[in-house]
């Protein structure tokens, strides 16, 4: 059985993610215990709130070192994806630095509201097992900050301007959208993630 640990940095509502993974036949529990984290087959870094608060919680729980030293596939979701980068303009905070780049605020413009809330289709770039079968699918986004498109972008979407909908670097993966709120296509993405091996 796949054994997923939600890295518990505090403040997130984990119920929908736990339910989504359990529907796929995986065990899924939140934890900040180093032994439990090291024993997992897959790690998920969820995120709700601000980058500054998330990084404080990650640091206080010593999750930053555990994340850096882990060897399992890791999926960052929404804010959890953003803190994979080197820096976030939100709170002007240094992040985990697992993916090069800086996260910036989405620009407002006539007809472009921030925060961005709603469904957007994604366009895959290259071949990526996490996004297998999902090119052109719609996913649910809720965010005010985003990562620019670059070398580590694995899928793109647009809200006023193009930004990274998904990123990847080796075992590290991130999605700006919420797969647990995105219906069958979200379930497919989580199933794809479970198929990734260390």
Q: How many whole angstroms from its chain centre is CA 44?
A: 8
How many other CB atoms are found less than 10 A from the CB of residue 84?
27
d(CA 120, CA 185): 12
CA-CA-CA-CA torsion for 133, 117, 101, 11, nearest 10 degrees?
Answer: -100
**Three-state SS for 130?**
helix
Q: Which of 28, 42, 78, 159 is catalytic?
A: 78
For the record, the structure tokens of 111 come out as 């007809």
Kind and range of the H or E element at 181?
none
Q: Is 78 a catalytic residue?
A: yes
Q: Is 178 a catalytic residue?
A: yes
DSSP string, 57-74: HHHHTTHHHHHHH--S-E
Distance between CA atoms of residues 83 and 66, nearest Å: 14
| Catalytic-role residue among 28, 42, 95, 180 | 180
Q: How far is CA 92 from CA 40, 50, 89, 101, 154, in A?
A: 32, 11, 5, 13, 25
Q: Which residues are catalytic?
A: 78, 178, 180
């Amino acid at each position: 059985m796949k054994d997923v640990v939600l890295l518990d940095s505090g403040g997130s509502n984990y119920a929908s993610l736990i339910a989504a993974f359990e529907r796929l036949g995986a065990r899924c529990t939140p934890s900040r215990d180093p032994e439990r984290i090291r024993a997992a087959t897959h790690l998920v870094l969820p995120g709700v709130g601000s980058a500054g608060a998330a990084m404080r919680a990650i640091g206080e729980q010593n999750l930053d070192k555990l994340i850096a030293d882990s060897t399992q596939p890791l999926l960052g979701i929404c804010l959890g994806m953003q803190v994979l980068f080197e820096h976030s303009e939100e709170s002007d905070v240094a992040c985990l630095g697992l993916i090069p780049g800086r996260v910036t605020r989405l620009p407002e413009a006539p007809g472009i509201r921030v925060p961005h809330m709603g469904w957007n289709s994604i366009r895959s770039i290259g071949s990526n097992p996490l996004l297998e079968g999902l090119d052109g699918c719609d996913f649910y986004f809720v965010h005010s900050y985003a990562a620019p498109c670059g070398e580590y972008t694995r899928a793109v979407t647009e809200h006023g301007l193009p930004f990274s909908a998904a990123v990847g670097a080796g075992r590290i993966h991130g999605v700006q959208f919420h797969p647990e709120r995105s219906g069958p296509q979200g379930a497919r993405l989580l199933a794809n993630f479970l198929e990734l091996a260390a």
